[in-house]
Amino acid sequence: MIHEGGVHEGGVRGGGRDNAEHEANMALFRVVHEIATRFAGRPVPVVLAELRARVPAAPGLDGGELLRIAEEISVGRDPSGL
């Protein structure tokens, strides 16, 4: 797994595939950040609908994880870390 900043669990970012994964992660973080900025304080179902519409499919982002993110945004938090 790649964390923000591009460091692997167990290693340092390399090139090629690692860079593509990092870019995909950053794109995901940016979408979540934008939604968090625009939908902070809104009801969970509204935030969840926006997440489902805009967040690209990614491993580990099942319905339960999107719900957790929506709950965070609904109470004014930005889970993107940006």
End-to-end CA distance of the chain: 18
Torsion of Cα atoms, 52 then 58 then 59 then 61, to 10°: -20
Tell me the average pLDDT of the chain: 82
pLDDT: which is higher, 14 or 56: 56
pLDDT digits (tens, 9 = 90+) for 51-66: 999 988 877 788 889 9
The pTM (predicted TM-score) of the whole model is: 0.72
